[in-house]
């Protein structure tokens, strides 16, 4: 019984990952590097999380001021780019 539940959860998790990958891939401004996040090291995941935390803080502070929030600048040499296609 436990094996059946675990197999179902694994299948559901894989399906969710594929759906999210398709959404990320289809968005023009999304970073394709996120498609294989589950393969990244904990350090890489932490770095990306910190980037998004900076972006969230910037968006929160900009919510009270007019104008558009820019994306957090990518660190040079990390190979993080938006490469659709």
Q: Give pLDDT tens digits for 72-84.
A: 555 544 444 444 4
Residue 75 phi, psi (nearest 5) = -75, 130
**Tokens 């539940």 belong to which residue?**
5
Residue 54's pLDDT is 93
| One domain for residues 23 and 43 | no
Number of domains in the chain: 2
> What would the pLDDT profile of 20-61 be if each residue is shown by its tens digit?
888 888 888 877 777 788 888 999 989 989 998 998 999 888
In angstroms and rounded to an integer, the radius of gyration of the C-alpha atoms of the chain is 17
Residue 50 belongs to domain spanning: 36-66
Residue 47's pLDDT is 92
> What would the pLDDT profile of 61-73 be if each residue is shown by its tens digit?
888 776 555 555 5
Q: Is residue 56 part of a domain?
A: yes
Give the helix ranges, DSSP H, for the chain.
2-26, 42-62
Q: Is the pLDDT of residue 8 over 90?
A: no
Residue 84's pLDDT is 45
Q: Is residue 79 part of a domain?
A: no
| One domain for residues 2 and 26 | yes
SS3 10: helix
Distance CA 73, CA 50 (A): 12
């Amino acid at each position: 019984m436990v094996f059946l539940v675990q197999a179902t959860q694994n299948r559901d998790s894989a399906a969710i990952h594929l759906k999210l990958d398709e959404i990320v891939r289809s968005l023009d401004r999304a970073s394709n590097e996120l498609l294989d996040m589950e393969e990244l090291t904990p350090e890489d995941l932490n770095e990306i999380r910190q980037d998004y935390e900076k972006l969230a803080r910037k968006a929160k502070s900009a919510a009270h001021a007019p104008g558009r929030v820019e994306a957090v600048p990518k660190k040079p040499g990390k190979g993080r780019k938006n490469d659709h296609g």
